[in-house]
Chains A and B, each alone.
Chain A
Amino acid sequence: MSGNLTIYLIVAALVTFAIRALPMFIFHKPIKNRFVRSFLYYVPYITLSVMVFPAIVLQTGSLISGIAAMAVGVLVAWFTSNLFLTASTVCVVALILELIL
């Protein structure tokens, strides 16, 4: 490495912190504008959906185990809304199929 690790870390930490903390620090009052409020209401669901698929099916060694794990995860989440149960079912299905396939 050519740079100083401490300086690298300070730069990276400051940039990361600024991006994450400043918006919620600055816009701490409830926003009145209906469009902006609607936009921010949809952001979480849309961004998490974009991040989860297709990444989830590409994570495992084979496409089949990824798709199966996702399908089971969707079903468990739909019927139970339980975070821990969904996360662990996805893990177990992926593990079992990865071992078999």
Chain B
Amino acid sequence: MDKKRKSADFFRGIRMGIPVMIGYFACAIALGITASKAGISPIQATLVSLLLNASAGEYAFFQTVLTGGTYIEMAVLEFVANARYLLMSCAIGQKTSEEVKLHERLIIGFDLTDELFGASIAREEKLTFAFYLGMMTVSIPGWAFGTLAGTLLGNVLPTVAVIALGMGLYGMFLSTVIPAARRSKVLFFAVVLSMSCSLAFSLLPVIRELSEGFRTIILTVGLSTLFALLFPIRDKENGEGGDNA
């Protein structure tokens, strides 16, 4: 890829990353409050956010530190909180352009979050490293500074504002799945069924006791298997946009 296209892609990534940055900043404030409750200094909390880039994962981290869990416990909890990324990483690996080098894949993997994953999938074209790097450039500081802000002034900000800003992240997920549902009947069906099953799982006894991360994994594996069997994508396409609808 030539330089011009790379820089255009990088700036497209930045543009895509700005709403993510705002949402991250807001969400990370709540995390910063948790961190300060666990007795972690603002600088340390910011470092944790820079290295982990995860909401559920960091929440589990601060809780484990707070309760003085063992290192093994920490490893297991982080595995559970992040297990859904195993699937996302496989999926985004197929979406990634073959021009992307192996070390660049590791860098993408380092910051593979729900939101950046969603933004990458929302894009019609193959994922490039420049685009992802653009998103990382703005979203990583958003997350880190939000955490810092949370530890410093979390209790000053009105709760309503924090909640509203946090809702933006869900808005982003909607803007990934809804247009896809409009494009394809099969995806429409997949989205509606996924949401219905997710609602059912959050209400059903026993199942609702499972962690949110586990429920997400069970539903993702189960429903994706079902759809892959019922509506396999066309052979010539490279895991892109093809369905038999």
Contacts and interface: CB of A to CB of B under 8 A. Distances in A.
Interface of A: 1-3, 5, 7-9, 11-13, 15-17, 19-25, 27-28, 30-31, 34-56, 59-61, 69-70, 73-74, 76-78, 81-92, 94-95, 98-99
B86 interface: yes
Lowest 10 A-B CB distances belong to which pairs?
A21-B109, A90-B171, A24-B93, A2-B68, A49-B194, A77-B178, A95-B164, A38-B228, A87-B171, A23-B89
B34 to A, nearest CB: 14
Contacts, number: 304
A44 B88 contact: yes
B144 to A, nearest CB: 14
B112 to A, nearest CB: 4
5 contacts: A20-B82, A45-B194, A84-B18, A91-B164, A91-B165
Interface of B: 16, 18-19, 22-23, 38-40, 44, 47-48, 51-54, 57, 61, 64-66, 68-71, 74-75, 78-79, 82-94, 96, 98, 102, 105-106, 108-110, 112, 114, 117-119, 121-122, 160-161, 163-182, 187, 190-191, 194-195, 197-199, 202, 212, 215-216, 219-220, 223-225, 227-229, 231-233, 235, 238-240, 242-243
B164 A94 contact: yes
A19 B160 contact: no
B177 A21 contact: no
Contacts of A24: 89-90, 92-93, 96, 105, 108-109, 112
Nearest to A4: B71
Given A34-B232, A78-B181, 16 more contacts: A11-B78, A12-B74, A24-B92, A25-B105, A25-B106, A28-B98, A38-B227, A44-B91, A46-B220, A46-B224, A48-B118, A50-B223, A74-B174, A86-B171, A87-B172, A94-B164
A54 B198 contact: yes
B74 A8 contact: yes
A21 B105 contact: yes
B166 to A, nearest CB: 6
A19 B227 contact: no
Task: Please classify the interface of chain B as helix (H, G, I), strand (E, B), loop, or mixed, using the class held by over half of its residues.
Answer: helix
Nearest to B223: A46
Nearest to A56: B170
Contacts of A44: 88, 91-92, 117-118, 121, 176
B190 A3 contact: no
Contacts of A61: 160, 163
A72 B76 CA distance: 39
Contacts of A55: 170, 212
Nearest to A60: B163
Contacts of A23: 86, 89-90, 93
B16 A83 contact: yes
A81 B93 contact: no
A12 B58 CA distance: 9
